[in-house]
Amino acid sequence: MSEVTERNQNRWPFVIVIVLAVLWLVPVYAMVVTSLKTQTEVANQQYLAPPAAPQVANFGAAFSPLRRGIINSLIITLPATFLAVLIGSLAAYYLIFFQFRYATLVFFAIVFASFLPYQVVLIPLTQLLNTLRLLDTYAGLIFAYLIVNTPMAALIIATFFMKAPKSFLEAAAIDGCKPFPFYRMILVPMSIPGIVSAAILVFVQIYNEFLLALALTLSPAVQPVMPTLASLRGSQVAQWQIQMAGAIIVSVIPLLVFIFLSRYFISGLMAGYSKE
Amino acid sequence: MMFKKSYGFIYLTPMAILVVVLYILIAWNLVASLTLWNGILPTWHFAGLKNYINLFTFNRFWDDLRHNLIWLVVFIVPTTFLGFILADFFSSMKRSEKVFRQIFLFPMALAPVVTGTLWAWVYDPGSGVLNSVIKAFGVNTARLGWIADPRIAIYCMIIAGIWQYVGFAVVVYLGAIRGLPTEMYEAARLDGAGRVRIMFSITFPNVGHGTLISTTMLAIFTMKVFDLVYIMTGGGPGDKTEVLPFLMYQIAYSQRDFGMGTAISIVILVLAAAMVIPYSRWAISKWVQE
């Protein structure tokens, strides 16, 4: 404790952090104030000045073309996240609590799969979905996201399962607890923080994803929100206030998740990527 | 504790199916890259390395590979360095820490499409934030093209990437620094080591695994840069900001040359695997120890 107070006497690191924090926030500040300005105000390019009267109508103008995309994104992201976490947790359960000769090999296959760029499967995936007549459908996108995100979900949940107190689990086994009730009634309730971490990381990843969303959809009827935002950008050239309002609107969901569940978001990142 | 029931395999089955499909798709990609294509469908007539020869004699491919290397160096070094410094500062701060930490972490929750939209506006030569602020100081901004200037466009884009991903390095280093024993610092302080000295000769050498994780993950990220390029520049000016993941999409989905598209994705696979395989082995060996 004395070490912390002693180190706190140094003020210059604090100054550096504040300077960097301001640099990090200026673009966001400009984005927010600009999203509330009129076209004339934007044309004046006084981006750091606050708006004379907040133009909430900009958000309405940006929301109507994005609405379908947001709904589509939720229709795709919610079931894909649920299934990825369910399938991933079952796999993690098996790999950690059952004797299995090839567990290390399967782990390797899963870890390797979690980090591959999507480009590596994009073309065959397009053809597979095309053959199954699932191109440009919700089911097709959900399937695509499951393939690329379930390995990461399994990885994060496995990290948390390993941390579950062993003595308690052993007691349950000695009392004759069967494997499935053990998973459902003991392991999952005990590992809620890990499951929530995996769920939010996968949720944010899918919601924010762009490449698959762009390549595997053709019509606005199923297109998720990120390609929709990209086309809004194309149709509103130099209408910065509308573009910024649109960018803010699509960020609301992941930012709320980040603000209210940041502890889980961070522990998910740590478990998934850094094995701390 | 271990269950020995053989029917337990049923728990792994759904995951196994997905992973097998994933690896079949990769194998499909590899085989398809060696065959002739008829528009969007492979004819499955073996063509040897034709697609690869076409690719390797294509100047844009080498340009884009070079841009990927620029990303690798110019993106990773500052992101990791800044991440380490910030994490070191945060680990010695008390309550103020949380608020400031969030400022550097929240961009990670934003979609790269959003980051691209924001920074495309910051850098816009005519009506962007950066030039309007510089103009306010009475400087002529006519020659400051930023993202439109072929010489610096890619670096401008990388700064947007650093802005978004520094939080990742912060998180990794915070975890690593927290694991360090405090006695180490006390000994150093008794020897009269200053703050900067402690940071670079004690903390940094002892968070090597944090550096490994951060640089590897950021390196893998540079092999998938797509959204920022698509949103901010479309690869331009010329092909100055184009990278392989973007080229692959352009060639396959805009120009409908799926033969070359598969060849590019195999090059991406090889480059990514060179980073992912050693990392996966390391991560698993750490795991098995536990």
Share of residues in chain A with pLDDT > 90 (%) = 55
Residue B161 domain-assigned? Answer: yes
- Say which of B231, B252, B277 has its CB closest to residue A233: B231
Which of A115, A205, A236, A249 would you mutate first to test chain B, the one with the most B CBs within 10 A? Answer: A115
| Six token digits for residue B205 | 């050498």
CA A22 to chain centre: 25
Contacts of A83 (CB under 8 A, 6+ apart): A142, A146, A150
Chain A neighbors of B173, CB-CB under 8 A: none
Model pLDDT, residue A2: 47
List, for residues A77-130, the tens digit of each pLDDT value.
Answer: 999 999 999 999 999 999 888 888 888 888 899 989 999 999 999 999 999 999
Per the CB < 8 Å rule, is A16 touching B96? no
Give domain limits for chain A. Answer: 2-43, 58-274
Contact B129 A27 (CB under 8 A): yes
* DSSP assignment of chain A: -HHHHHHHT--HHHHHHHHHHHHHHHHHHHHHHHHTS-HHHHHTT-TTSPPSS--THHHHHHHHHHHHHHHHHHHHHHHHHHHHHHHHHHHHHHHHHB--TTHHHHHHHHHHHHHS-THHHHHHHHHHHHHTT-TTSHHHHHHHHHHHHHHHHHHHHHHHHHHS-HHHHHHHHHTT--HHHIIIIIIHHHTHHHHHHHHHHHHHHHHH--HHHHHS--STTT--HHHHHHHHHHHTTT-HHHHHHHHHHHHHHHHHHHHHSHHHHHHHHIIIII--
pLDDT value at residue B149: 92
**pLDDT band at A274, cuts 50/70/90?**
low
What values do phi and psi take at B42, rounded to 5?
Answer: -70, 140
pLDDT of residue A162: 85
* Rounded average pLDDT over B51-65: 94
Query: Is residue B35 a part of any domain in this protein?
Result: no
B113: distance to nearest CA of chain A, Å?
7
Q: Tokens in use for B64?
A: 């884009």
Position B231 in a domain: yes
Q: What is the pLDDT of residue A199?
A: 95
Q: How far apart (Å, rounded) are the C-alpha atoms in residues A83 and A53?
A: 46
Q: For residues A265 and B109, is the Cβ–Cβ distance under 8 A?
A: yes
Q: Which helix (H) or strand (E) holds B188?
A: helix B183-190
Q: Which residue of A has its CA nearest to B214?
A: A274
pLDDT digits (tens, 9 = 90+) for B249-280: 999 999 888 889 999 999 999 999 999 999 88
B2 confidence band (pLDDT: 50, 70, 90): low
- Cβ of residue B183 closer than 8 Å to a chain A Cβ: no
pLDDT at A276 over 50: no
pLDDT tens digits for B20-42? 999 999 999 999 999 887 766 77
Residue B111 has pLDDT above 70, yes or no: yes
What does the pLDDT look like over A225-271, one tens digit per residue?
Answer: 999 999 988 777 778 899 999 999 999 999 999 989 888 888 888 87
- Measure in Å the smallest separation between the Cα of A151 and chain B Cα atoms: 8
What's the confidence (pLDDT) of residue B93? Answer: 77
pTM for the complete prediction? 0.92
CATH number at B259 reads: 1.10.3720.10
The confidence band for B100, taking pLDDT boundaries of 50, 70 and 90, is confident
User: CA-to-CA distance for A248 and A232, rounded, in angstroms?
Assistant: 13
B187 touches chain A (CB under 8 A): no
- Average pLDDT, integer, range A25-48: 89
Nearest CA in chain A to B123: A27
Q: What's residue B9's pLDDT?
A: 83
Nearest of B290, B1, B8 to residue A169 by alpha carbon: B1
Torsion sign (Cα): B168, B225, B220, A146: positive
C-alpha distance from B224 to closest chain A C-alpha (Å): 5
Amino acid found at A6? E
What is the model's pLDDT at position B289? Answer: 64
- B230 within domain boundaries: yes
Which of B1, B18, B108 minimises the CB distance to A166? B1
Q: Which among A123, A238, A270 is the nearest to B175, CB-wise?
A: A270
Question: Which of A3, A147, A230 faces B182 most closely, judged by CB atoms?
Answer: A3
Section B132-151 average pLDDT: 87
Which positions in chain B touch A100 (Cβ < 8 Å)?
9, 12
Asked if residue B21 is part of any domain, the answer here is no
* Partner residue facing A113 (CB), from B19, B127, B245: B19
Interface test with A, best of B9, B10, B12, B84 (most A CBs within 10 A): B12
What digits encode the pLDDT tens for the residues B217-247?
999 999 999 999 999 999 989 899 999 999 9
The answer to whether residue A181 neighbours chain B at the CB level (below 8 Å) is no
Average pLDDT over residues A186-214: 93
Sign of CA dihedral A116, A117, A120, A124: positive
Q: How confident is the model at residue B163 (pLDDT cuts 50, 70, 90)?
A: very high
The 10 Å CB-count burial string (b at 16+, else e) for B231-251 is: bbbebeeebbbbbbbbbbbbb
> What is the H or E stretch that residue B277 is in?
helix B258-289
Distance from CA of B168 to the nearest CA of A (A): 8
State the pLDDT at residue A265. 86
pLDDT by residue (tens digit) across A163-183?
877 777 777 777 777 788 888
* SS3 call for B36: strand
Residue B50 forms part of a structural domain: no
**Option in B8, B121, B276 nearest A179 (CB):** B8
Count of domains observed in chain B: 1
**Chain B residues within 8 A of A98 when measuring between CB atoms:** 2-5, 8, 11
Which residue segment(s) compose the domain that B229 sits in?
55-289
Report the chain B residue with the minimal C-alpha distance to residue A4: B92
| Token code pair at residue B79 | 């992101």
pLDDT for the residue numbered A142: 97
Between positions 197 and 226 of A, the ones with CB within 8 A of B are 204, 207-211, 214-215, 226
Would you state the pLDDT for residue B7? 74
Cβ distance of B18 and A211 shorter than 8 Å: no
Mean pLDDT of B182-203: 81
Mean pLDDT over each residue of chain B, to the nearest integer:
89
Domain A58-274 has CATH 3.20.20.80: no
